[in-house]
Amino acid sequence: MTEVKEREVAIVPPKDHTPVVRSLDPSDFPTPTSRDEEFRFTPMSRLHNLHQGNVVATGSMAIAVNKVAGSRFEIAGAKSTDRIGFTDKIAAGAWSQLDAVSTLTIEANQNLSESVIVSIVGSGAVAFGQLDINVEKFASAVVIVDHIGAATYAGNIDINVADGGAVTVVSLQDWDASALHLAQHRITLGKDASIKHVSVTLGGDVVRILPSVHYAAPGGQAELIGLYFAGAGQHTEHRLFVDHSEANCRSNVVYKGALDGEDAHTVWVGDVLIRANAIGTDTYEINRNLVLSGGGRADSVPNLEIETGEIVGAGHASTTGRFDDEQLFYLQSRGINEEEARKLVLRGFFEDLLGQIAVPEINDRVRDSIEARLGGRI
Helix ranges, the chain (H) = 89-97, 325-333, 338-357, 360-373
CB 273 within 8 A of CB 242: yes
| CA–CA dist 137, 276 (Å, integer) | 28
Q: Is the pLDDT assigned to residue 360 strictly greater than 70?
A: yes
Query: Counting every residue, how long is the chain?
Result: 378
| CA–CA dist 151, 95 (Å, integer) | 17
List the single range of 94-108, 131-145, 176-190, 344-358 with lowest mean pLDDT: 344-358
For 215-249, what is each residue's pLDDT tens digit? Answer: 999 999 999 999 999 999 999 999 999 999 999 99
The arithmetic mean of pLDDT across residues 89-111, rounded, is 96
Sequence spans of domains, the chain: 10-324
Quote the DSSP letter at residue 111: B
Sign of CA dihedral 10, 16, 18, 23: positive
The arithmetic mean of pLDDT across residues 204-209, rounded, is 98
Q: Is the pLDDT assigned to residue 15 strictly greater than 80?
A: no
What's the pLDDT at 11?
Answer: 37
- What residues contact 315, with CB distance under 8 A and at least 6 apart? 283, 284, 285, 304
- CA distances, 348 to each of 252, 330, 360 (Å): 21, 15, 18
What's the pLDDT at 374?
Answer: 63
The whole model's pTM is what?
0.92
More confident position, 369 or 232: 232
pLDDT band at 16 (very low <50, low <70, confident <90, very high): low
- CA distances, 159 to each of 94, 124, 143, 197, 202 (Å): 17, 27, 11, 10, 22
